Amino acid sequence: MRETKSTCPYCGVGCGVIITSEGDQITGVRGDPAHPANFGRLCSKGSTLHGTATAPVKLHERLRQPMQRLQRGGALTPLAWATALDTVAARFATIAATHGPDALGFYISGQLLTEDYYVFNKLAKGLLGTNNIDTNSRLCMSSAVAGYKQSLGADAPPCSYEDFDHAGCLFIAGANPAWAHPILFRRIEDARRANPLMKLIVVDPRRTDTAEEADLFLQIQPGSDVALFHAMLHVMVWEGWIDAAWIDAHTAGWDALKRQVHGMGPREAARICGVPAEAIVQAARWFAWGGADTPPAEASRRAATLSLYCQGLNQSSSGTAKNSALINLHLACAQIGRPGAGPFSLTGQPNAMGGREVGGMATLLSGHRELTNPQHRAEVAALWGVDAVPEKPGHAAMAMFEAAARGEVKALWIACTNPAQSLPDQALVREALAKCEFVVLQEAFGGTETAALADLLLPASTWGEKEGTVTNSERRISRVRAAVAAPGEAREDWRIVVDVAQRLEARLRPGRPTLFPYATPESVWNEHRETTRGRDLDITGLSWARLEAEGPQPWPCPDAAAPATARLYTDFRFATADGRARFVDTAWKPVAEGCDARHPFALTTGRLRDQWHGLSRSGTVTKLWAHAPQPVVQLHPQDLARRGLREGELAELKSRRGSLVLPVQADARIAPLQAFVAMHWGEAVLAGRDAQGRLRAGVNQLMHGKVDPQSLQPELKHAAIAIGRATLPWRLFAATWVDEADLPALRSALRAWAAAQPLARYTSLVPLAGPSQPAGGDALGARQGLRLELAAEQALPEAALDALLGLLQLKDGLLLRYADPRGGQRRLLRLAGEGAAARVAALLIAGPLVGADGKATALPAPATTARGPAAEPARRRGPSGVAAPREAGPQGEPAAVWLQRWWAERLPLGAHTRSLLAPNPAAPAEGAATPARGKQVCTCLDVAEPAIRTALAALPGTPAERLAALQGQLRCGTSCGSCLPEVRRLVQAVPCAIAQPAG
């Protein structure tokens, strides 16, 4: 067994990992206790990374050789690497010669390593002569970049994770680190335990798990952040809480900002934001004084305030204004440049920071240089050895796809990202990909939505197989190391780019020395390092040898003999020409797409705790689906009642761009007239077609592409939608347990089957993890589950159902069949095991949605309860959100309900197998008395909510004592800790049923 130190490929926390491997197989992963980002901790995603590199995943989910489509929509055929590279070079050279270099576009990723980013940027801007290179970091961090630059002079987060330990007040706006950055949230919990007086303020339209922990929660209306921040500054000015002397000495633009906020008092902001004016005043007080209610004896000794923010601020048509308005608060109170103080943007991707360092965006150049600056362009041209860098700004992400849809960009090279899932306005994105003459996808995983639309697929290596560097949220550079070889013929991203670049050089600059002389990723990094010399991010004092010897290091680090710089602006001199920070006086503006009578709901999107981005990696680990097992739309219970919707019923969501069908889930933590759908759901999981036959391509079908005018970041956090009942009377539920090795291939086949059904208005295809320890007599053993749901206005053709039965192995062998041709009902089951221990191995239930009383009926959402203050104790629910066909058992529970539960929970059928042939079989009494498993809470240790509630009912004491006793009994929250906020919430919500002695 080998051990290899590397870095987690998920969020921007940059956790160190230790990979264990045997031969070419990764066998495990654990946190690196020596890494300063996580000190050995890992979240639920990081701790299951080895599950994304299993033999079945590498065989079935990964791209293993170059593939091409000879015609759009056709089958993929393999081709040799040399042919693939020649094809890319020839097509790009021909299109550039015919239409000019700006007919080419590159759309790359914050998941690439710094070395990959660097050679892509040099290829586009240095060799081909186009600035049309952008990245999916445009979707997450560009507003933070623009805010830092216009306020502080450089794209440089000034803080360190150590600042959590020194802050007296944490101000979290538009971020949910409890779910999106769990290891940082563990550090916040540690800091609060060490300093019980620390105040936590959370600003968010949703009452998230982070908000549940807050001392003060401001549940603002979407898009009202600038009004809130201006009102807080208004209060600080009015009350004399600012540091006037510091403002005079170190800033510019104060008078204009003071005039701007004069009219935004707390009452006006309360009207806009929907929060009490008193809460705004309290937030201003704690922010100004570092969590204290009164100022210190000396104003200069105020306690520190640290702000954390992420996509809630960034993904907005006013994202740059939001960032700068928050930075204004830090500048007004001198809350920057000292321990525990400063504005700290949390990076969404593992190397979005590294991509910015190398200038891998349409508006940037290497070493934090500006594309619009002639001197900067000349410096980069000299460093690269080219005559010039193009002056014309390139297309940012949305503009690039808009240009492709207009026919202006004719070739796209997409790398390590999935725009056919992640970009807003999916109809436009897919039109762009269809109009492009040539689409190249360089990707590790072959099942993404974009892979289905590309002409040429280049297989790339990924985590555990690559060498290079990444930079995390605190500017810390970490090494990424390969533990095993890449599967098949997959190659490192930088190597693929260099191979194409050298072929292009033979066409574009024959006989001249190559611009891409790299033999190793370290040689690429060394050239990148030189581009930083004398810049704000100078890393010329670092080397791979130093990173090996001393571990991860933050920038800047210009001196090889001196420590790197952990915290910026400690001398209060900023990265502007005169050294002064800038106050920015942008006025508040509402969201780009307001709600109206036709679209009264504000839809927002965000991350789930155990999933990441478009699921191409995290979605391969079945246990990560347990916490949120199915796509749903969350609404306030009042909104369900007003629209006559019951939990689990299908609703149709309509925006001005398209529609989507989803089960509804009541959640009292969602504000009325707002809706939440997770950002992860794309066509691979959630699809269907509307009445006009148009594809419903996941949640981003609904979102608009309007962008912030400065950062060019789209407003992915808000769209106006309508919500109503989806009238889809014909339903299908199909499920099976299969060997883990067969799961990827079957999932691909079921996805293709579902996509081929033009009558399907709603389809959902998700995996289900088998039990960690199968019960005795469970013949299904370690098999994993797949669940397909479909809703339509009429029955599917018999040929389609017959094909589905073949995929599920429900055509031959020992089966139980029930059919009612007149009623249109059918039920097929395949059992595993014998006698009383028999379990449902596979089933299909299909038929019209009509109850015995002739009225529509529905099943509850899968194994969940209503959330938030209005939540009720868990009750028995079906494991599926698909509605029940007509049959119903004598106990009143439809067979379609209890059979789904029996399949999902692998309950024995007892002596009731023959009764399954009856029209209305009742649930076996033995299993019916078994409490439903319920919603998963702790992924690591497989603990569900009902078990926690049952245990808490017998645990007396204080909340802290009850939590400790609960963890001693069930161990929930003792591994990665990602579930701790939810566990603590249950401790508060579930009373002890045992009488406690008085006193």
Asked if 886 contacts 852 with a C-beta cutoff of 8 angstroms, the reply is yes
Say yes or no to pLDDT of 855 above 50. no
> What is the band of 181 on the pLDDT scale with cuts at 50, 70, 90?
very high
The HSE-up count of residue 204 (CA atoms within 13 Å, CB side) is 31
* Nearest CA among 455, 456, 444, 396 for reference residue 418: 444
d(CA 514, CA 510): 9
Would the pLDDT of 9 be above 90? yes
Asked if 161 and 181 count as a contact pair (C-beta separation under 8 A), the reply is no
Asked whether residue 926 carries a pLDDT value surpassing 80, the answer given is: no
Long-range CB contacts (< 8 A, 24+ apart) of 836-839?
Answer: 836/908, 836/909, 836/910, 836/911, 837/777, 837/778, 837/779, 837/908, 838/779, 838/908, 838/909, 838/913, 839/778, 839/779, 839/780, 839/902, 839/906, 839/907, 839/908, 839/909
pLDDT above 70 for 242: yes
725, 156 contact by CB (below 8 A): no
| 3-state percent helix, strand, coil for the chain, nearest multiple of 5 | 35, 20, 45
Q: What is the pLDDT of residue 929?
A: 60
CB 105 within 8 A of CB 412: yes
Instruction: Please state, as a whole number, how many other Cβ atoms lie within 10 Å of the Cβ of residue 693.
Output: 8
Residue 888 confidence (pLDDT): 41
Backbone φ, ψ for residue 491 (5° rounding): -125, 160
What lies within 8 Å, CB to CB, of 248 at 6+ separation is none
121 neighbors 394 (Cβ within 8 angstroms):
no
Question: pTM for the full model?
Answer: 0.94
pLDDT digits (tens, 9 = 90+) for 485-506: 999 999 999 999 999 999 999 9
- Section 38-46 average pLDDT: 97
Answer whether residue 876 shows pLDDT above 60.
Answer: no
Q: Is 256 left (phi over 0), alpha (psi -120 to 50) or beta?
A: alpha
> What is the per-residue pLDDT across 267-280, written as a single tens digit (0 to 9) for each?
999 999 999 999 99
Rounded to whole angstroms, the Cα distance separating 582 from 588 reads 18
**pLDDT exceeds 70 at position 343:** yes
> Which of 768, 908, 767, 790 lies closest to 845 in space, CA to CA?
790
Amino acid at 55: A
What span, in angstroms and rounded, lies between the C-alpha atoms of 349 and 398? Answer: 19
Q: How confident is the model at residue 932 (pLDDT cuts 50, 70, 90)?
A: confident
**pLDDT at residue number 135:** 97
Q: List the structure tokens of 477.
A: 């550079």
Query: What distance in Å separates the CA atoms of residue 160 and residue 157, rounded to the nearest whole number?
Result: 8
Residue 88 scores a pLDDT above 50: yes
Question: What pLDDT, on the 0 to 100 scale, is given for residue 869?
Answer: 35
Burial class from Cβ neighbours inside 10 Å (0-12, 13-18, 19+) for residue 854 reads exposed
What is the C-alpha to C-alpha distance for residues 902 and 912, in angstroms, rounded to an integer?
Answer: 12
Window from 530-534, 640-644, 838-842, 929-933 with minimum mean pLDDT? 929-933
Give the per-residue pLDDT at 823.
Answer: 87
Domains and CATH numbers, the chain: 142-345 (3.40.228.10), 936-989 (1.10.10)
Contact call for residues 121 and 359 (beta carbons, < 8 A): yes
Q: How many CB atoms lie within 10 A of CB 393?
A: 14
Condensed to tens digits (0 to 9), the pLDDT of residues 125-165 reads: 999 999 999 999 999 999 999 999 999 999 999 999 999 99
